[in-house]
């Protein structure tokens, strides 16, 4: 409603640089009114747009006008006959910096005012022509053409040109290149013709701006080659590389440091990988398969031996057989088994080798096998002790032998032969149980792994035997312990499968050695008496084998083989003894057997001799087994009723025995009690008589003691008083002596003290006097020396002058006074005129030099 009211206004004040559109409703022509002015609308006019500010394009800016007005050569707007501004419909006009302008009716501001694009250095705008035109330089552009506007510069747009993209230069660093691809047939910057899809490299260091028909595919970094690295290259099409060599499609080669320090792969070559140098020391070698010849052609199927010291690169197609290998350094106890794969001449041994030949070289030596030779294996000498050995088989003849007690090395026609043993024997050998100490141990342990190529050894314990059978010679030998058995290639142990358990069961005990005893075995058998009482007996037999012959006897081997003639001697002996016992027990009653079981069983087993005495042994002549004794450990009825009857009879017998024993014990106890009572009475009477005698002796002793006590007391008192008086006298005498001695000692000590004090005082006074004399003498000497030195320093004449100077001065003084008088004296007292003069002139003499007057002079 505001717009409609505004359009109905009659007066419009148009500011400067503003405009509005007015339509004449009579002619339907729209015109532009620009300010500054005041526009008065007529009735047939209507304002359809504005007032609106004019479009201002500042410097270095532009805008795009769609359907622009048509202008003549004088750059003025062209109007038609009706006064309507003519428009270029479906056209565009780019207007740059100019005075503010209005939009005529029909003109549309397609792009507002924006700044012109400034293209910096190393950048460009890729332009595409959308209309055919001719630019300012006279070059004709066809629709679809593309070109670059390179910086630095400001791009002024045209309506015929569209900006596709901004391209920035790619900086090529040292050891870099860029891969370019042509999008269309064109000329590159070097003037070379490029076809569509062609790729090439630009390696020049610096900024590179791709052309309009060029695109950057990738930035390629150079590979830095060293003495230890090379590049494995492959050609993807035929071309000439950077070194001027024509490479065929699919060809492979190495680029080394000797060719170039850095390498940028060509567009038609690819890097398969980086090949490291292969370095061999003087203790290494290698074999190259399919080596490349001097012309770079691979020699398929061939081999090449390379020894160290050497460093090289594996060429494409080459590879090492088993990698880098160490030179075979063989010691004195080592060897190599070699095999020829093709015919060649062995230069070291000057022998013609044929394919399949095998030979052996021994150390000490260093060996590098040629390409025609294959190292089959390395042999080490096997040190063998006297009790060790190995099985060796000759691969040519198949003969197997055992080597023991030497250091042996297999040659080229020998190999270690594994000796197979039955699983049971393997288990017995692997458990390592002592046949004697562990014979009661029935536990099975997991067998260990045995070296089957080593000679099988078995330690036969003391008082045991082992039978070994040679299947090749078809002979058996028996070895008695203690001994170490070593099996030959065709020998096997005779395995013993003995009965065990109670009662005996077959095949319970497995063993390789036969213990000769003495030993014992226990068996449980069931017997039946004549009165059909079934009893279970547990018997223990002591047995041993007898070997009476010596090794030097002819029958020694036969007698030794007898030991193993019965496979299960335990079961055979137990069955034989059990049958004899059953037969003997079947002919006696239960009571008889119960009373005489030991005698019946021993006689049934051992039998009687010619004197009808029971023998001491039972011998089995088949294997020289001897049973020496039988111990009946238990007899138990099998039938429950028999067992109950036996239990009742046993209990009844026990009860009768117990009652008889109780009666006898009671009778004996009563007898002992009566004897004890009689002995007690007699002992009581004896004790009373002895007590009376002791009481009498006691009274006599008491009387004597009282008499002795009274007499002794008086005597003791008298003796004590005499002893006391004597002791007091002796003590007084001793005290007087001690006092006299003490007085004497005190006097002597006091005298000695005074004497020492006087001597010390005398010595002190004497030393003090000596010190005083010494001091006085030294002081006198010092004063004398001092006076002498003073006199010497002053001089005799000076002293004389000093001495006479005083009297002379006094004489002169007295003379100068002019006194004339007479003095009469008696002559007893001398008159000292000098003193007089001195007293007269005393004030002139210093006080310290005045002599002290004597007492006589003072009196005068």
Give tens-digit pLDDT for 667-716. Answer: 888 888 888 888 888 888 888 888 888 888 888 888 888 888 878 777 87
What are the backbone angles phi and psi of residue 532, rounded to the nearest 5°?
Answer: 60, 35
Q: What is the H or E stretch that residue 145 is in?
A: none
The CA distance from 53 to 35, in Å, is 10
Where would I find the H helices in 261-302? none
Nearest to 836 by CA among 821, 433, 697, 104: 821
Whole-number pLDDT of residue 446: 55
Nearest to 609 by CA among 617, 597, 601: 617
The mean pLDDT of 844-850, rounded to a whole number, is: 43
pLDDT range class, residue 22, cuts 50, 70, 90: very high
| Mean per-residue pLDDT over the chain, rounded | 85
DSSP annotation string for 817-833: HT--------SSS---H
The mean pLDDT of 299-314, rounded to a whole number, is: 89
The CA distance from 428 to 441, in Å, is 13
The burial class, CB within 10 Å (0-12 / 13-18 / 19+), for 804 is exposed
pLDDT range class, residue 848, cuts 50, 70, 90: very low
Neighbouring C-beta atoms of residue 730, cutoff 10 Å: 10
- Residue 600's SS3 state is helix
The CA distance from 305 to 287, in Å, is 5
Nearest to 632 by CA among 768, 525, 506: 525
Nearest to 187 by CA among 150, 219, 218, 212: 212
| Cβ-based neighbours of 213, under 8 Å, separated by 6 or more | 146, 182, 183, 184, 185, 186, 194
- CB 437 within 8 Å of CB 468: no
Relative orientation angle of helices 833-840 and 796-817, to the nearest 10 degrees: 80
**Is pLDDT of 853 > 70?**
no
Whole-number pLDDT of residue 851: 44
Neighbouring C-beta atoms of residue 340, cutoff 10 Å: 19
Relative orientation angle of helices 569-585 and 597-606, to the nearest 10 degrees: 120
**Is pLDDT of 815 > 80?**
no
Neighbouring C-beta atoms of residue 156, cutoff 10 Å: 14
- For residue 253 the two structure tokens come to 């080669």
Query: Exposure pattern of 263-290 as b/e (b: 16+ CB <10 Å)?
Result: bbbbbbbeeeeebeebebeeebbbbbbb
> Which sign, positive or negative, has the C-alpha torsion 465, 469, 470, 475?
positive
| Cβ-based neighbours of 655, under 8 Å, separated by 6 or more | none
- CB 231 within 8 Å of CB 274: yes
Nearest to 119 by CA among 63, 171, 172, 157: 157
Nearest to 157 by CA among 63, 57, 58: 63
Neighbouring C-beta atoms of residue 741, cutoff 10 Å: 10
The CA distance from 459 to 513, in Å, is 9
Q: What is the dihedral of CA 688, 692, 697, 698, to 10 degrees?
A: 90
Q: What is the DSSP letter of 87?
A: B
Neighbouring C-beta atoms of residue 499, cutoff 10 Å: 21
Nearest to 18 by CA among 31, 30, 38, 36: 36
Nearest to 602 by CA among 636, 567, 628, 573: 628
**Is pLDDT of 819 > 70?**
no
What are the pLDDT digits (tens) for 556-615?
A: 788 888 888 888 888 888 998 889 888 888 888 877 887 888 888 888 888 888 888 888
DSSP annotation string for 480-505: ESSEEEE--TTEEE--EEEEETTTTE
Whole-number pLDDT of residue 852: 42
| Cβ-based neighbours of 511, under 8 Å, separated by 6 or more | 428, 435, 495, 496, 498
Nearest to 312 by CA among 284, 277, 282: 277
The CA distance from 373 to 349, in Å, is 14
Query: Considering only 80-89, 170-179, 592-601, which range has the smallest mean pLDDT?
Result: 592-601
Relative orientation angle of helices 796-817 and 640-794, to the nearest 10 degrees: 50
The mean pLDDT of 263-284, rounded to a whole number, is: 91
| Cβ-based neighbours of 626, under 8 Å, separated by 6 or more | 543, 544, 545, 546, 617, 618, 619, 620
- Residue 561's SS3 state is helix
Q: What is the H or E stretch that residue 208 is in?
A: strand 206-208
What are the pLDDT digits (tens) for 118-161?
A: 999 989 999 999 988 888 888 888 998 898 998 899 999 998 89
The mean pLDDT of 424-452, rounded to a whole number, is: 72
Peptide bond into 364 cis (omega under 30): yes
Peptide bond into 309 cis (omega under 30): yes
- CB 342 within 8 Å of CB 303: no
Please tell me the pTM assigned to this model: 0.51
The CA distance from 228 to 206, in Å, is 31
Query: Considering only 11-20, 99-108, 715-724, which range has the smallest mean pLDDT?
Result: 715-724
């Amino acid at each position: 409603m505001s717009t409609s009211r505004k359009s109905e206004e009659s007066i419009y004040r148009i500011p400067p640089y503003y405009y509005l559109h007015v339509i004449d409703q009579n002619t339907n022509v729209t015109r532009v009114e620009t300010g500054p002015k005041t526009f008065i609308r007529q009735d047939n006019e209507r304002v359809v747009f504005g007032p609106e500010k004019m479009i201002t394009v500042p410097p270095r800016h532009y805008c795009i006008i769609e359907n622009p007005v048509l202008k003549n050569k004088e750059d003025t707007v062209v109007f038609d006959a009706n006064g309507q501004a003519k428009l270029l419909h479906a056209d565009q006009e780019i207007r740059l910096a100019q005075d503010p302008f209005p939009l005529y009716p029909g003109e549309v501001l397609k792009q507002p005012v924006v700044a012109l694009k400034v293209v910096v250095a190393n950048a460009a705008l890729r332009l595409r022509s959308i209309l055919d035109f001719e630019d300012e330089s006279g070059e004709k552009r066809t629709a679809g053409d593309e070109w670059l506007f390179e910086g630095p510069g400001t791009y002024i747009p045209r309506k015929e040109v569209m900006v596709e993209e901004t391209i920035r230069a790619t900086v090529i660093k040292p050891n870099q290149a860029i891969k370019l691809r042509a999008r269309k047939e064109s000329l590159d910057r070097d003037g070379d013709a490029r076809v569509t899809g062609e790729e090439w490299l630009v390696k020049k260091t610096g900024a590179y701006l791709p052309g309009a028909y060029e695109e950057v595919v990738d930035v390629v970094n150079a590979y830095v080659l060293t003495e230890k690295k090379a590049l494995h290259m492959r050609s993807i099409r035929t071309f000439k590389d950077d070194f001027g060599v024509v490479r065929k499609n699919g060809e492979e080669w190495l680029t080394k440091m000797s060719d170039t320090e850095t390498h940028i792969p060509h567009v038609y070559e690819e890097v398969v990988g980086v090949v490291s140098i292969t370095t061999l020391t003087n203790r290494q070698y290698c074999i190259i398969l399919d080596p490349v010849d001097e012309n770079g052609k691979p020699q398929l199927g061939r081999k090449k031996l390379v020894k160290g010291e050497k460093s090289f690169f594996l060429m494409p197609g080459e590879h090492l057989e088993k990698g880098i290998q160490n030179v075979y350094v063989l010691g004195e106890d080592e060897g190599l088994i070699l095999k020829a794969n093709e015919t060649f001449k062995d230069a070291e041994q000057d022998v013609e080798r044929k394919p399949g030949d095998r030979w052996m070289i021994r150390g000490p030596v260093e060996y590098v096998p040629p390409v025609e030779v294959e190292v089959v294996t390395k042999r080490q000498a096997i040190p063998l002790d006297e009790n060790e050995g190995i099985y060796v088989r000759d691969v040519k003849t198949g003969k197997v032998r055992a080597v023991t007690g030497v250091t042996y090395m297999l040659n080229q026609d020998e190999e270690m032969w594994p000796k197979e043993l039955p699983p049971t024997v393997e288990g017995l050998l692997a458990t390592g149980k002592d046949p004697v100490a562990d014979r009661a141990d029935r536990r099975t342990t997991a067998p260990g792994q045995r070296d089957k190529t080593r000679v099988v050894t078995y330690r036969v314990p003391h008082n045991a035997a082992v039978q070994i059978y040679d299947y090749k010679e078809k002979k058996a030998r028996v070895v008695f312990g203690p001994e170490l058995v070593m099996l030959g290639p065709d020998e096997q142990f005779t395995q013993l499968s003995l009965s065990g358990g109670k009662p005996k069961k077959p095949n319970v005990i497995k063993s390789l050695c036969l213990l000769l005893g003495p030993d014992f075995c226990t068996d449980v058998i069931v017997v039946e008496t004549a009165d059909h009482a079934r009893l279970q007996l547990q018997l223990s037999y002591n047995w041993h084998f007898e070997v009476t012959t010596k090794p030097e006897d002819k029958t020694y081997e036969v007698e030794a083989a007898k030991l193993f003639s019965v496979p299960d001697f335990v079961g055979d002996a137990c069955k034989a003894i059990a049958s004899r016992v059953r037969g003997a027990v079947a002919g006696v009653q239960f009571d008889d057997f119960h009373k005489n079981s030991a005698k019946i069983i021993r006689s049934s087993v051992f039998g009687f001799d010619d004197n009808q005495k029971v023998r001491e042994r039972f011998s089995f002549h088949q294997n020289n087994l001897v049973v020496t004794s039988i111990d009946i450990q238990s007899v138990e009825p099998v039938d429950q009723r028999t067992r109950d009857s036996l239990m009742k009879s046993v209990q009844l017998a026990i009860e009768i025995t117990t009652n008889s024993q109780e009666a006898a014990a009671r009778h004996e106890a009563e007898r002992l009690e009566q004897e004890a009572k009689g002995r007690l009475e007699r002992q009581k009477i004896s004790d009373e008589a002895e007590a009376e005698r002791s009481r009498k002796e006691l009274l006599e002793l008491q009387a004597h003691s009282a008499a002795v006590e009274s007499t002794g007391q008086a005597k003791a008192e008298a003796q004590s008083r005499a002893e006391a008086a004597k002791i007091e006298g002796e003590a007084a005498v001793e005290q007087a002596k001690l006092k006299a001695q003490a007085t004497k000692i005190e006097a002597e000590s006091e005298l000695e003290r005074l004497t020492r004090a006087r001597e010390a005082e005398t010595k002190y006074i004497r030393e003090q006097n000596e010190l005083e004399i010494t001091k006085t003498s030294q002081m006198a000497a010092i004063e004398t020396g001092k006076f002498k030195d003073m006199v010497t320093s002053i001089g005799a004449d000076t002293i004389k002058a000093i001495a006479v100077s005083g009297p002379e001065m006094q004489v002169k003084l007295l003379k100068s006074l002019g006194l004339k008088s007479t003095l009469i004296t008696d002559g007893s007292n001398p008159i000292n005129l000098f003193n007089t003069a001195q007293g007269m002139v005393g004030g002139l003499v210093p006080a310290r030099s005045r002599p002290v007057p004597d007492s006589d002079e003072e009196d005068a």
